[in-house]
Amino acid sequence: MRRYRRSSVILSAAMAVLLAAGCAGEEEQDEYVAEYTSDSEEPVKLVYYTIGEPDAGLKQVEEALNELLLQRYGFTVSYNKIGWNDYEAKLASFFSTDRNFDIAFAWTENYLENALAGNWLDLTPYMEGSCADTWAAVNSKFWKGATVNGCIYGIPTNKELAVLMYLLYDRELVEKYDIDVTKYLTLESLEPLLRTVFSQEPEYIPFFLSNSHVNLASMGGYEYVTYTDIPLVIRTDDASAEVVNLFETEYCEHLLNTLHRYYTAGYINEDASMRTAFSRFKGEKVFLRLASGGPESEVSFSSSFDYSIVAQQVSDLVVTSESALGGVMAVNARTEHPKECAVFLNAVNTDPDVRNLLNYGVEGLHYILNEDGQVKYLNNDYRGVAYTQGNWFILKTVAGENPDKWELYQEFNDIAIESPILGFIPDLSGFSTECDNVSQVCGKYENALMTGTVDPKEFLPRLQDELEQAGIGILQQELQRQIDVWMAFRGQ
């Protein structure tokens, strides 16, 4: 995409900063190069793991992908999917057992943790060589979020910069009751709608919640400083980045009281604290639910939940480290084929044939193009998980989507503002006891509180007391110290 390209002067200057930060230089890259030639006995075969249920058509996609890769780039890939509930544990076991693999999907927490642990390969030197086109194609704010101690350890998915919170309404009821969804931008404002659905539409769950409880903090203008099981946040509009305990904020107290009132009134599903984002029952009708996503998401939401949806944005366009690192492709530091890995990552981000194949499958087998050049699926044998695999801006659009979808995404990204701590990497490695204790306390109370299942007047004080005993005050002070040092250094 031409809009993304920076001048060579800017590129060189940015790379000079990264290389000066102590990342591997060009001479180190040369040691790793293992070029494939036609005289080689067998081409290199990379082993690639990503998240998602293995598809019936996965092998067909792998075969078509390898035919393309071998012809254009001289190597092949073993393309593997691991189920949603198993991926995180499997990836951790790969590292602990020195499993032989080359490339894997990562996201905020395990990208940062494994980068700091030395498990991901430093890709910085390849940004001037094999991945130069990718460096130019991916929005600079993503690179800012992906930089760890001055180095790049993975390729962030070039998608929407800010991950928005949405209220998702059942379109049938929106049209039946002529609801103007733009009037309802807070949870408190929803009460008359939920009351109507509860009394008039008994077959519907008025407000579906699960124990994944998405990022309710973002609706109040807060973002997490570290992981979501450590409830320390800053306000995204606070340039000083003061760290506070989410559960001690006025916003959170009002939120929990509202959710409990809705739960008591019967508006929220009774099993909310036990349901997960993946537990969907056939025939279950839902009027309202929460979800996160990018612009122009109604088609994808409707496809995911299998009913027609009206989506209303209820959070600000803020680029955080979490949103910038929602999907990353990273290379195992122990790979024997770093050059080929870099070339593959570059292809996923700059070669439309490779990218569309991974996302939609084989043309003529899994999809066809309609008269407008949009993807029309033929079956359910294959679906790529878009946020896990490279540059969205070279993807075709799907039938029913706005043909100008990617131009709208670009405009969306252009107006997104940066979090005051975008690029800040917290290091709590010396506070593992406090982190574990705080996480355990949150696990004890959070699902019930964040779904309205229990009365916050009784349980919120208990949570606050136990968090203090667990050491949240120590973590708060340490994170504030690190942020202050980081901001002072950044301002030099």
pLDDT one-digit tens code per residue, 144-198: 999 998 999 999 999 999 888 899 999 999 999 999 999 999 999 999 999 999 9
Res. 109 pLDDT band, cuts 50 70 90? confident
Domain ranges of the chain: 2-160+323-406, 164-224+250-319
For residue 277, pLDDT over 80 is answered with: no
| CATH fold for the domain made of 2-160+323-406 | D-Maltodextrin-Binding Protein; domain 2 (3.40.190)
Percent of the chain with pLDDT over 90: 73
Name the average pLDDT for the chain.
89
User: In the prediction, which pLDDT does 420 show?
Assistant: 93
For residue 454, pLDDT over 70 is answered with: yes
Rounded to whole angstroms, the Cα distance separating 334 from 101 reads 8
Say if 2-160+323-406 and 164-224+250-319 have the same CATH topology: yes
For residue 123, pLDDT over 60 is answered with: yes
User: In the prediction, which pLDDT does 28 show?
Assistant: 41
Superfamily of domain 164-224+250-319 in CATH is Periplasmic binding protein-like II (3.40.190.10)
Query: Residue range 349-357: average pLDDT?
Result: 98
387-443 residue pLDDT tens = 999 999 999 999 988 999 999 999 999 999 899 999 898 889 899 999 999 999 999
User: In the prediction, which pLDDT does 38 show?
Assistant: 47
For residue 5, pLDDT over 50 is answered with: no
User: In the prediction, which pLDDT does 30 show?
Assistant: 38
User: In the prediction, which pLDDT does 26 show?
Assistant: 43
Encode burial over 189-221: b for 16+ CB neighbours within 10 A, e otherwise.
ebeebbeebbeebeebbbbbbbbebbbbbbbbb
Range with the lowest mean pLDDT among 89-103, 269-283, 344-358, 452-466? 269-283
User: In the prediction, which pLDDT does 45 show?
Assistant: 97
For residue 383, pLDDT over 60 is answered with: yes
User: In the prediction, which pLDDT does 85 show?
Assistant: 83
Res. 279 pLDDT band, cuts 50 70 90? low
Range with the lowest mean pLDDT among 315-324, 327-336, 350-359? 315-324
Query: Residue range 39-66: average pLDDT?
Result: 92
For residue 310, pLDDT over 50 is answered with: yes
The backbone torsions φ and ψ at residue 106, rounded to the nearest 5 degrees and listed phi first, read -140, 170
What does the block give as tokens for 354? 């490779």
126-140 residue pLDDT tens = 999 999 999 999 999
Range with the lowest mean pLDDT among 12-16, 30-34, 47-51, 407-411? 30-34
